[in-house]
Amino acid sequence: MKDNILDIQNLNIRFSTFDGLFTAVNDVSFSLGYDESIGIIGESGCGKSTLSYSVMKYLPSNAQVDGKVIFKGDDLLQKSDKEMEAVRGNRIAMVFQNPYSSLNPAHTIGFQLDEVGIHHQKLSKADARKASLEALELMNLGDVKAIVNRYPHQISGGIQQRVCIAMALLCKPDLMILDEPTTALDVTTEAVILDSIKALRDKLHMSLIYISHDMGVINKVAEQIIVMYNGEIVEKGPKQEIFNHPTHPYTRALINCMPRKGVVKENTKLNSIKGYVKKRGASEKGCPFADRCEKKNDTCEQLYRMREVGPDHIAACDRAYATDIPDKVVKPVKKVKKTVEEVQDEEKEIISLDSLTKVYGTRKKVYAVNGIDVSVQSGSVLGIVGESGCGKSTTGHMVSGLYKPTAGKIIFNGKDISLTWKKRDKETLKDIQLIFQNPGRSLNPSHTVQQIIDRPMKKLGMESDKNKRKKIIIDMLKKVDLGKEYLTKKPRQLSGGEQQRVAIARALTIHPQLVVCDEPTSALDVSVQASVLNLLNELQIESHAAYMFISHDLNVINYLSDNIMVMYAGKIAEYGTRDEVMAPPYHPYTEALLSAVPEVDPTKRNVAIELEGNLPNPSKKITGCPFAGRCHKQVGPICEQQAPPLVQVSPTHYYYCHISAMDV
């Protein structure tokens, strides 16, 4: 035990609710050594965060806890709140998923950082400020003296998260717990933060617990992996062993869910895990994964126990590759052979954006989109990728009519629709639909699923007969893997994945010609993301609708898209077919994006090109290349003085850069 900084022994956490007693963590035991890092992986509702909160003793009053959490020889569960003050934030630091809720909007960054040094280390104001600046410098943030005088809303999400990590580092803790700190961030920002965490762990000799549902992220920061399901550890071992030889069916299924390099919709249908994580009653025993497991047999419950399956590798089940039940063969969705007329329709340009521009404000202007020229063919998928603030969502929202363009045109089926939705005719409103990022906030909480899907059908005059509309809704619910019983449910009764399926059903029930998908999978677990991507692909092939699919996840874009548009600072950086853009990348920004994508396979290592600084100030017009200043291939002053020329690589592939295709 002396070799371990943390020992968790037979930890049980139950919550008393109006519906009874539920188990959140069930008989969990593991150890973390000094200078060691462990990644905890699993879907939402598996108990990962609850486990980490128990280490900080952050659990609510309705929690019933037994077991031991021994930190450097002391059982933290036996300490009072007053005694825990010397541990929390001082010896054990925690970084949460959402930096917005971790930082006080009413105080400057410097004030909030100084508080930590003054409270925990009893430093003077001058010494606390000096320590705050040193902590920020560790995060490679550039002008740290300017950052300490800013408020949280004046810095980007990526910098906010790095400030939270700097705050956690101020007391040089022995143990740092990170609860999905990069889930909502761009791949470039994520790469910088993950590399910073890894470097700081080695420099400060910290132990680390990193919680995520993304295997690629865990690979970058952890040596050991714990797989949790429904409050239990189902598998634990070295990351390469877990990836190469998963023993528990859940571990294998979780790894197979993830889109990755080389996996595309034409060749592969993503593996998904049926069902969802259910609440577990306090009296329930046996395998928690049994109701979702494709390898389940009659002996599972009797043989279910933790066992050693290799060096430092333990698992509760060894049936991941069991041969008595054959693997389910997941075949990609094949496109139906089309008639000549259908082929001609698919080659038709359904929408064209001509010098599309959006400027917010009148006195203080914000240049969000700066002249986009692109078209989408009927029945195809255009993937739009780039960092937050690059104009992806603004472009999608102008197409769907939420915003009116400041300049330029949107030509849809030969008709100019550069108007807000209020001024568009019913036919156009029906033909262009939008699926939002957050399904919970896009569904009316007071309406049932039937009312949510029925309303646009009724408003847009698709079908006047109420009974016929209900039949259409039931048929669509079946297509999105939801049954008739969901008609009477309200959004709060659905999981995140089910809510997104309802949003997809609402968009596609009225047979649109174009669907704008604004990061529809970014808030979902990898297992739910896989099923939603499969669903979007199947419905697109069936309906022949075109998609504009917006995302910052290049693996998702690579899987679903036919063509890809890379955006930076409101402009197109590169455009081409999926294969042309993904390999090799021509624009330096595309190259940086691809290098930052976390690898699911721990044996493959990407060297991320770290982009210094931030996107250019959107309130100023850009004279040269918008990427100048951050570009690792900048050729000289010309990049900052002249707008980059168009470089045509093929009839379908071009980019804007002062570097020619021959020099890439």
Cα(248)–Cα(316) distance, rounded to whole angstroms? 7
Confidence of residue 121 (pLDDT cuts 50, 70, 90): confident
Query: What pLDDT is stored for residue 454 in this prediction?
Result: 94
pLDDT band at residue 114, thresholds of 50, 70 and 90? very high
Q: Give the per-residue pLDDT at 335.
A: 60
Judged against a pLDDT cut of 50, whether residue 284 lies above it is answered with yes
**Pair 121, 98: CB distance under 8 Å:** no
Whether the per-residue pLDDT at 1 is higher than 50: the answer is: no
242-277 residues labelled b (16+ CB within 10 A) or e (exposed): bbebbbbbbbbbbbbbbbbbeebbeebbbbbbeebb
Report in angstroms the alpha-carbon separations of 339 from 256, 343, 545: 35, 6, 16
Please state the rounded mean pLDDT for residues 491-501.
86
* pLDDT value at 184 more than 80: no
CB atoms within 10 A of CB 321: 12
CATH 3.30.450.30 fits domain 340-656: no
**Which residue is it, tokens 């999981």?**
495
pLDDT at 194 over 60: yes
Q: What pLDDT is recorded for position 657?
A: 95
Burial class of 189 by CB neighbour count within 10 A (0 to 12, 13 to 18, 19+): buried
Position 209 pLDDT exceeds 90:
yes
d(C-alpha 147, C-alpha 109), whole Å? 7
- The more confidently predicted of residues 190 and 456 is 456
Q: Per-residue DSSP letters for 57-87? A: T---TTEEEEEEEEETTEEGGGS-HHHHTTT
Give the mean model confidence (pLDDT) for residues 290-314.
89
- Considering the chain, what percentage of its residues have pLDDT values greater than 90? 54
- pLDDT confidence tier of residue 87, bands split at 50, 70 and 90: very high
What is the pLDDT, as a whole number, of residue 338? Answer: 54
Please enumerate in sequence order all residues whose Cβ is within 8 A of that of 525, keeping only pairs 6 or more positions apart, or say none.
43, 44, 213, 496, 497
- Please give the helix or strand (H or E) that residue 393 lies within, else none: helix 392-400
pLDDT of residue 341: 57
- Mean pLDDT estimate for the chain: 89
CATH code for the domain defined by 4-91+171-315: 3.40.50.300
Q: Note the pLDDT tens digit of each residue in 567-625.
A: 999 999 999 999 999 987 899 999 999 998 888 888 887 788 888 767 788 888 888 99
Q: What is the pLDDT of residues 309-347, one digit of tens each?
A: 988 999 999 999 998 898 887 777 666 555 555 555 556
Rounded average pLDDT over 478-489: 88
Residue type, 301: E
Q: Does residue 210 carry a pLDDT above 50?
A: yes
Q: Where are the domains of the chain?
A: 4-91+171-315, 340-656
- pLDDT score at 89: 86
Identify the pLDDT of residue 574.
Answer: 96
Which tokens is 133 given?
């600046």
Poorest-confidence range of 63-72, 94-103, 454-463?
Answer: 94-103
| Fold equal for 4-91+171-315 and 340-656 | yes
* 227 touches 248 (CB < 8 A): yes
Q: Is the pLDDT of residue 175 over 90?
A: yes
What are the distances in angstroms from CA 52 to CA 23, 175, 179?
15, 12, 8
- DSSP structure class, residue 261: T
pLDDT score of 110 more than 90: yes
The pTM assigned to this predicted structure is 0.86
197 burial (CB, 10 Å; 0-12 / 13-18 / 19+) is buried
The pLDDT, as a whole number, for residue 172 is: 87
Rounded CA separation 71/5 (Å): 6
The pLDDT value given to residue 617: 81
DSSP classification of residue 337: P
Counting beta carbons within 10 angstroms of the beta carbon of residue 80, is it exposed (0 to 12), middle (13 to 18) or buried (19 or more)? exposed
pLDDT at position 411 over 60:
yes
Confidence of residue 366 (pLDDT cuts 50, 70, 90): confident
